[in-house]
Amino acid sequence: MNKIKELIQKEYDRQHNTLGMIPSENYTSKEVREAVGSVFMHKYSEGYPAARYYEGNEVIDELESFVRDMAVKVMTKHDSKEVQNNWHANVQVLSGSAANLAVYTSILEPGDKILSMYLPDGGHLSHGWSYSSKKDRDDSLESEGIAYKGGKKKVNFTSKVFDIVQYKTDPSTFVFDYDEIEKLAIQEKPKLIITGGTAYPRDIDYKRMREIADKVGAYYHADVAHEAGLIAGGAVPSPFKYADFVTFTTHKTLRGPKGAVAMCKREFAKKLDRAVFPGLQGGPFNHTIAGVGQALIEADTKEFQDYANQVVKNAQILAEELVNAGLNVITGGTDKHLVLVEVLSAGVSGADFASKLAEIGIIANKNTVPYEKGSPVDPSGLRLGTPILTTRGMKEDAIKEVAEIIVEVFNMLKNNEDQYGDLRLKVDGLCQKYKLPN
C-alpha cells in the first residue's frame, strides 16, 4: 500500500477507536472533506472577487463571495437585522492566529498597547504572550493584582510588535471581575481590547467589555475560536452586537476544516482585507474556503442548532458528574463545550492524567489552570471537551458513562493503582456503540 494511504488509514482507525475529548477538535462531514480535497486546490487567486491578479477566477469569485455571505448570515443569524447588515467577512485568512494578526495590523501601529487575557488563565498565544525565566523574573514588575505586564522572552510575534498587558481571572472565583478589568483598562489606556481564549469555561459578558472599551476609546476584538459553532447554533451568546472585530477558527465547534474567518464591522472592511492581502498573505487556499462554505451550509440547519445545544448540555453533565465525584472543576462547571479540572492538589499530575487517559482511549489534554503552580510542560490541570462525543451521537447517559471512566482513572492515579484493562474495554464498547459518521 502507498505509505500516505497507509497513514491515512491508520489515523482514520485511531480517530474511530478513541474518544476525542480535546475541546479544540472535531470531526467533519464527508462533504466537507470532499470540498477540501477538490480541484479548488489547483487555482491561484491572489486578490479578491472581481479584482484578481490572475485570469480564470470566475468560479473562485463565485465561491468566495458565497462563503463570505454565508459566514455573515450563519454567524449573525441570532442577532437583529441591523447587526447582520453591518458585518463583513474575510474568508481568506489561513488560521486563527493569522486572523488575529490581520485585525491587529489593520488598526494598530507597532508599539500600540493591547489588553488581552493572561495565557495561563486560559488566554491564547496570539494575543501576545511573553514571560521571563526564573532567574530573570521580577514579579513586582511583571504582575500587579490581576494585571500581567509581560516578561523578557517575547514568545509570540504579537508581543514583539505591540505593547501587551494582560488581565487575569479573579483569584478566588477564577472568573472575570469586570470592575477590575475596567480599572486596569483606565490605568493602561489600550488601543485594542481582546476577549477569548482556550480554557475559559464561562460565557464572556460582551456588553460589559464593549462598555469598558468605549470608556477608554479602544477597539474591541472578540476571538471566538472555540465558541463559533455554539454561536452559530444559538447555544451561547453572540458578540456581534458589541464587538468591532470577531475572529474564529472553523475546525472546532463549527465542525469545518482547518481554517479561519476574520469578521469586522463594515467600516473596517477595506482595512481588514488589505491587512490580509497583500499585508500578510499571498494566494488564498481555495479548497479550504470551499470546505468552510460546506461547513457553514451545514451549520445553517435545525440539526446543527440541536447539535450545538447538545454539546453544551453534554459538557454541563460532564462537569456535574466530575464535581459530584469530588474532582476540582474550575469555576464549578461550564457554560459551553469545555471543562477544566485542577488535579495537582489531589496529588495527580495533569500530564500523567492526560497520558493515562490516552492509554485507555480517551484523548484529552493537559492544561494550565488559573494561578498555575506547575508548568506548561507539566501543568496542574486537564482540559476536556464534548464536541466530538456529541458528533458521535452521545447524549447525557453516555456522557455519564464517560465521566465514570475518567473518575476511575483519576482515583487509580491518586491511589497509585495500575489496573486499567477493563477501562480500555469500556472505551472500546462506547466507540463501537457511538460511531463517528463516515
CA count, 13 A, side-chain hemisphere, 335: 13
CB-facing half-sphere around the CA of 170: CA atoms within 13 A: 10
Q: Which residue has the cell 464572556?
A: 204
Compute the Cα dihedral for 387, 390, 395, 397 and give only its sign: negative
Say whether 229 counts as a known binding-site residue: no
Q: What is the percent of the chain with per-residue pLDDT over 70, rounded to a whole number?
A: 97
The separation between CA 430 and the C-alpha centre of its own chain, rounded to angstroms, equals 26
The phi, psi pair for 11, rounded to 5°, reads -70, -35
pLDDT in tens, 359-416: 999 999 999 999 998 888 889 999 999 999 999 999 999 999 999 999 999 999 999 9
Residue 382 in marked binding region: no
User: Cα 128 vs. chain centroid, distance in angstroms?
Assistant: 16
Amino acid identity, position 167: Y
Asked if residues 177 and 146 have their Cβ atoms less than 8 Å apart, the reply is yes
**How much is the pLDDT for 419?**
83
119 appears as a binding residue in the annotation = yes
DSSP state letter for 337: S
CATH topology for 3-23+302-433?
Aspartate Aminotransferase, domain 1 (3.90.1150)
| CATH topology classification for 35-299 | Aspartate Aminotransferase; domain 2 (3.40.640)
What ranges do the domains of the chain cover? 3-23+302-433, 35-299
Pairing of strands 260-265, 87-90: antiparallel
Residue 374 has a pLDDT of: 84
Q: In this predicted model, which residue has the larger pLDDT, 377 or 9?
A: 9
Q: What is the pLDDT of residues 107-154, one digit of tens each?
A: 999 999 999 999 989 899 999 999 887 655 544 445 678 899 999 999
Q: What is the pLDDT of residue 141?
A: 45
Taking Cα atoms as reference points, which of 209, 170, 169 lies closest to residue 190? 209
Would you call 199 helix, strand, or coil by DSSP? coil
Chain centre distance of CA 10: 26
- The whole-angstrom separation of Cα 44 and Cα 286 is 8
Model confidence, pTM: 0.96
CA 251/CA 356 separation, integer angstroms:
26
Would you call 20 helix, strand, or coil by DSSP? strand
- Look at residue 344 in the predicted model and tell me its pLDDT: 96
Instruction: Please indicate if the annotation marks 125 as binding a ligand.
Output: yes
The contacts of residue 85 (CB under 8 Å, 6+ apart) are none
